[in-house]
Amino acid sequence: MTSPALRYLTRICAPQRRRLKLGSGLAVLAEALWLPQAAVLAMVLGGMASGQDPDLWMSAGAIAILGVARSGLIFLASRQFEQGADAVLAATRAQILARAQQYAPGPEVPSSAQTAVLMVEKTSLIRAHLLRWPAARARVAVIPVLILAVIFPVSWPVALILMISGPLIPVFMALIGMAAKDASARQMEEISGLNSLLVDRLGALIDIRLLRADKQMKNDFQIRADRLRQQTMQVLRVAFLSSAVLELFAALGVAMTAVYVGFTLLGELRFGSWGRVLTASEGIWLLLLAPVFFQPLRDMAAAWHDRVAAQAAADELLMDEERSLTRIPGQGADADRMAGAISVRGLRLRGISYPDLDIAPGEMLAITGPSGSGKTTFLMALAGILPSDGALKVGDVIVDDKTADGWRQSVALITQHVHFLDLPLRENLTLAPSIDDDRLAQALTLADADEIVNQLPQGLDTVLGERGGGVSGGEARRLIVARTAYWNRPYVMADEPTADLDDMTAQRVIRGLLDLNAQGAGLIVATHDPRLIRVIERRIDLAA
């Protein structure tokens, strides 16, 4: 009966169940205090109506004390919910990030924006749900029944009116809730889609301008943004309609109660009070309780939409959890380096078999082959980025989930696409907890990159664009080579390291890489550049 999304919500909230229960209990108690408070208020008003002189100070004091107690209980309940929701939020966010950062690159990997939205915004929907729903549900379970129980001995027709109009509300809510769920799911999907679309478009604004596609982009975006608006409006329309229906039922219930009580007090109706005459105080008390009978139901209806939104978010989280993509082995943490020869036996990745291979420490190897023959994939497997299923051994150790971190610490990887993190250049060039400035200077010299840094207005403090905006493509590549030199690891693996360099700079970079090799580092490159292939002793050619 329960949907996978609900089971998921229950599962992630399980560690906080006690907190949420305690909060619910406090919220119920706070609302129940309205019964005596309303009774005192009714006695005062009834006393006034019948011309007696009620003890104003006593009554006012009782109302005040009960009121303060209610506020205090609500305050305490809110705190329980907030703390519980916060803990759930923290755990869920950490899980999402831990999963996403481990995906090996590929077209089926969800976009970074999609993950960011899931992690930051959509989990907040679950938080909002936890702040309201458990309390509303607990109150619905207790308060209406309690009110019926105390009203029935005083006036059965009022109890009957409430009993009939009350349960109609959940029926309506269930009907509307089904419509709301679809609308919510569509809205969620549109939000992800729009964010993914935008994050790519924003990264490509220059290209879009050069292609004179700005108008096209604007139109696309306008259509998508408008669709999101319509879908949001659809969700809201259902929400507004359901709360209007509820309000209507509540209003009708209260109005019928008022009319019955009014006529009884006037003496027109003479049934319902078990043979007694209904006093003015009792009548007023009934009138004060009637709206409170409906209030938990209305609150639950309001929280229902948080619940629907949370369910839609939970569906996505569940999907994210169940996504089976190639994982990068290991943790991505710092670990002790591994040394030794590399051996590859029977490596098969994405449907392509790769040749068996032994690489001695300090050796040089060029992986060549026509475009699309899998040079990059092979290099990524050697570097411990793609799982190799036991096919890759370093020394006597198989590179697997446990040992991959250590292996990657022994490899300085130069990827084809440069990404600069949102950090000053100094940190991007070292990516280490502590920075040795002298070594960094040497590394920059080796990569022929000193003058690049000197040209930057803020030098090593410059924050470059994510794709190296601020320096040319060749310069960005040389900066990454400088980082490799700084890292000084047993192996250097580079994917097309000379691709954007002119002859002179390419020669200098090649010399730099060879220098690293001369110092003992093994050098493995995937390349088709004859300038580079020429100077590498060993070559392995991948067929198309």
Query: Could you say which residues in the range 427-446 bind another protein, by CB under 8 A?
Result: 431-433
Closer to another protein by CB, 53 or 438: give it: 53
Instruction: Map the footprint of another protein across residues 138-177, applying CB under 8 A.
Output: none
CB 96 within 8 A of CB 119: yes
**Pattern of binders to another protein over 58-87, x per CB under 8 A?**
-xx--xx--xx-xxx-xx--xx--xx--x-
> Residues 243 to 272: which contact another protein by CB under 8 A?
243-244, 247-248, 251-252, 254-255, 258-259, 261-263, 265-268
Residues 290 and 148: beta-carbon distance below 8 Å: no
Per CB under 8 A, the list member of 310, 453, 501, 525 interacting with another protein is: 501
DSSP string, 102-160: TBPS-TTSPPHHHHHHIIIIIHHHHHHHHHHHHHHHHHHHHHHHHHHHHHTTT-HHHHH
The C-alpha atoms of residue 56 and residue 168 are separated, in whole angstroms, by 40
Neighbouring C-beta atoms of residue 329, cutoff 10 Å: 24
- Please give the single-letter amino acid code of residue 436: D
Rounded to a whole number of angstroms, the minimum distance from the CB of residue 4 to another protein is 25
Map tokens 């604007």 to a residue: 218
Residue 5 or 115: the one with the smaller Cβ distance to another protein is 115
Contacts with another protein, 393-412, as mask; x by CB under 8 A: ------------x--xx-xx
| Shortest distance (Å) from residue 486 CB to another protein | 11
* 95 scored as a contact of another protein (CB under 8 A): no
Cβ-proximal residues to 322 (8 Å cutoff; 6+ apart), any chain = none
Chain residues 520-539 in contact with another protein, contact rule CB under 8 A: 528, 530
Q: Out of 29, 116, 148, 540, point to the residue binding another protein (CB under 8 A).
A: 116
Beta bridge partners of 525: 366, 494
Buried b (16+ CB within 10 A) or exposed e, 226-257: eebeebbebbeebbeebbebbeebbeebbebb
Query: Using an 8 Å Cβ cutoff, are 335 and 409 in contact?
Result: yes
Shortest separation between residue 344's beta carbon and another protein, angstroms = 19
Decide: is 91 part of the binding site for another protein (CB under 8 A).
no
Asked if 101 touches another protein (CB under 8 A), the answer is yes
Tell the smallest beta-carbon distance from residue 152 to another protein (Å).
20
310 to 329, contacts with another protein by CB under 8 A? Answer: 328
Contacts of 490 (CB under 8 A, 6+ apart): 337, 339, 361, 410, 411, 520, 521, 522
# binding residues, another protein (CB under 8 A): 167
Tokens describing residue 403: 């040992």
Q: Which of 305, 1, 302 is nearest to 183 (CA)?
A: 305
Residue 41 within binding range of another protein, rule CB under 8 A: yes
Tell me how far, at minimum, the Cβ of 317 lies from another protein, in Å: 15
| Axis-axis angle for helices 503-518, 437-446 (nearest 10) | 130
Residue 21 binding another protein, by CB under 8 A: no
Q: Is 46 in the site for another protein (CB under 8 A)?
A: yes
Residue 493 in contact with residue 485, Cβ under 8 Å?
no
Nearer CB in complex with another protein: 141/424: 424
Compute, in degrees rounded to 10, the torsion defined by CA atoms 60, 61, 63, 69: 160
Window 186-225: contact mask with another protein (x via CB under 8 A): --------xxxxxxxxxxxxxxxxxxxxxxxxx--xx--x
Give, as ranges, the residues between 337 and 376 that touch another protein (CB under 8 A). 370-372, 375-376
The label of the residue with tokens 């889609």 reads 193
* 455 is an interface residue for another protein by CB under 8 A: yes
**Applying CB under 8 A, does 459 fall inside the site for another protein?**
no
Interacting residue with another protein among 364, 420, 444, 532 (CB under 8 A): 420
Considering the complex, what minimum distance in angstroms separates the CB of residue 355 from another protein? 19
Cβ atoms of 274 and 153 within 8 Å: the answer is yes
15 contributes a contact to another protein by CB under 8 A: no
Nearer to another protein, 5 or 444 (CB): 444
Binding flag, residue 416, another protein (CB under 8 A) = yes
